[in-house]
With several copies, the nearest count.
Chain A
């Protein structure tokens, strides 16, 4: 973990060189954002900028031929400013997810895909059997696969064996905002994997992001926590700070918890 504080006169503006590297590509931000459910495209873009995210996910869908506005989200998200990561949201089988992945790649932006295979409509939990099957196919076809999965270590290890570029376990169900329900599982996954671990789904507010990063993971992907905040742009700022806070605290190495108190002021030198 090579962390260097950049040389500068004022401590409070010090920034750290601590990039997120996935498949050889460097990102300065460890926060990846979804682009769904915003009230407007302007709000979405402003929120992403507030959050400082460089990578954002997009979905592959039919052009709506009945709508007057048929414009792609590319009109609002300049690929020169943001790295676009197509997802396979809404796919319920390996076959379907592979089809969407190929369509996403054909836009010509990159061969990256955020692979999701959903197993249940109510919970949107992943179907890990189908996920593994799709991951195998896509890796063979040269895709850079970031795999959305549950918080099961065994599945995460298997995904890594298959050659995915990053494993993306959930904190809690998509859009639930319940935060990190099982810290242990996320820690286990991070400790055992070599590829980056990005926690995807379930973060609801800033402290959820901090506590998640404090487990040592490499990044977080979120969407609803921003899009459904009362003030999404402000929440974007909050999340930018929260992810950095959690990351830095992890690197700084927290104090031990104690059952008893320890004074912060000296015991000696008290007056008689």
Chain B
């Protein structure tokens, strides 16, 4: 959808904000880069929930909308 950058960087939307990711990067790699533990969060990509087992297989593309959510205190 949106343009990929010349140097292999792509822009995605991450938790509501623009984010530069590496083209062909898997979601697992993204999480690692962000220092996040995949066991306590859930990933939604383009409105689809991504199973934990698939995180290492799915590769980011420019324009992907990623939501990383977890549990917080709430009543």
Show the binding face of A for B, using Cβ within 8 Å.
33-38, 41, 44, 57-63, 65, 70-75, 84, 86-87, 89, 99, 102-104, 106-108, 174, 221-224, 227, 263-266, 269, 271-272
Instruction: Give chain B interface residues in 4-57, CB to chain A under 8 Å.
Output: 14-17, 34-36, 40-42, 44, 47, 49, 51-52
With A63-B69, A70-B36 in contact, is A102–B49 under 8 Å at CB? yes
Known: A74-B70, A87-B74. 15 other contacts (CB 8 A): A34-B73, A35-B73, A37-B75, A59-B72, A59-B75, A60-B71, A62-B16, A63-B68, A65-B34, A71-B40, A72-B70, A73-B71, A99-B47, A227-B75, A266-B73
Decide: B72 and A73 in contact? CB cutoff 8 A: yes
Query: Can you name the residue of chain A whose Cβ is closest to the Cβ of B50?
Result: A106
Interface SS of A by simple majority: mixed
Decide: A265 and B49 in contact? CB cutoff 8 A: no
A-B contact pairs, 14 of them (CB 8 A): A36-B73, A59-B74, A60-B69, A63-B36, A72-B40, A72-B71, A73-B72, A89-B74, A102-B49, A104-B42, A223-B75, A265-B75, A271-B16, A271-B67
Decide: B67 and A264 in contact? CB cutoff 8 A: no
Q: How far is the CB of B1 from chain A (nearest CB, A)?
A: 15
Query: Can you name the residue of chain A whose Cβ is closest to the Cβ of B68?
Result: A63
Query: Can you name the residue of chain B whose Cβ is closest to the Cβ of A108?
Result: B52
- Residues of chain B at interface, number, CB under 8 A: 25
Decide: A265 and B74 in contact? CB cutoff 8 A: yes
Show the binding face of B for A, using Cβ within 8 Å.
14-17, 34-36, 40-42, 44, 47, 49, 51-52, 65, 67-75
A86 CA to B49 CA in the complex, in Å?
16
Contact partners of A266 in chain B: CB under 8 A: 72-74
Contact partners of B70 in chain A: CB under 8 A: 60-61, 63, 72-74, 107
Contact partners of A72 in chain B: CB under 8 A: 40-41, 70-72
Contact of A106 among B36, B42, B47, B73 (CB under 8 A): B42
A264 CA to B51 CA in the complex, in Å?
29
Contact partners of A44 in chain B: CB under 8 A: 73
Contact partners of B35 in chain A: CB under 8 A: 70
Decide: A103 and B49 in contact? CB cutoff 8 A: yes
A264 CA to B36 CA in the complex, in Å?
26
